Amino acid sequence: MDLRKLKTLIDLVSESNVSELEITEADGKVRIVKASPVAVAVTAAPAPVVAPVAVAAPAAVAAPAAAEPPAAPAETGRKITSPMVGTFYRSSSPGGKPLADVGDEIKEGQPICIIEAMKIMNEIEAEFSGRIVKILAENGQAVEYGQPLFIVE
């Protein structure tokens, strides 16, 4: 695999919430695992310490899920989600006019944002028509696959 491509993949993983990425190509297989602060502590600790950390991790994952449902009913409308992992941009050029803003009427197929992935700018089109009520991602923010970007009524 090309070193530039490998570096780009490493940068994407480090800038996003993705903790692990595995890619298989004809010329080889690459697996990138992001070390977390907890993982660093576990690496230095003896093996028996790993079990309590593994038990604590599901509890930490459950807490955000418990906090999320109260916020969901406040957001009415349909969500447009990210079709890929990358960096979210509201305009096609730095300092340019946003492709879509709160209050704008959008049509199905209309470009509403750009997601940069592996140095490629991907125009994201509206999945349906409506009016943008809320923009959930910040300009320049790393986004995940399936992450809500817009609320549309």
d(CA 128, CA 4): 37
Who's near 15: CB < 8 A, 6+ residues apart?
87, 142
- 14 and 51 both lie in a single domain: yes
Domain residues for the domain of 12 are 3-71
- 113 and 134 both lie in a single domain: yes
- 96 and 137 both lie in a single domain: yes
- Total domain count for the chain? 2
- 147 and 83 both lie in a single domain: yes
Q: 4 or 88: whose pLDDT is higher?
A: 88
Last residue of a domain, one of 18, 52, 71: 71
Residue 91 reports pLDDT greater than 60: yes
- 59 and 89 both lie in a single domain: no
Q: Do residues 115 and 87 lie in contact, with contact meaning Cβ atoms separated by under 8 Å?
A: yes
- 59 and 11 both lie in a single domain: yes
d(CA 125, CA 78): 15
- 142 and 83 both lie in a single domain: yes
d(CA 113, CA 27): 34
d(CA 108, CA 126): 5
pLDDT tens for residues 27-84? 777 777 776 544 433 344 444 444 444 444 445 455 555 555 554 445 678 999 999 9
- 101 and 137 both lie in a single domain: yes
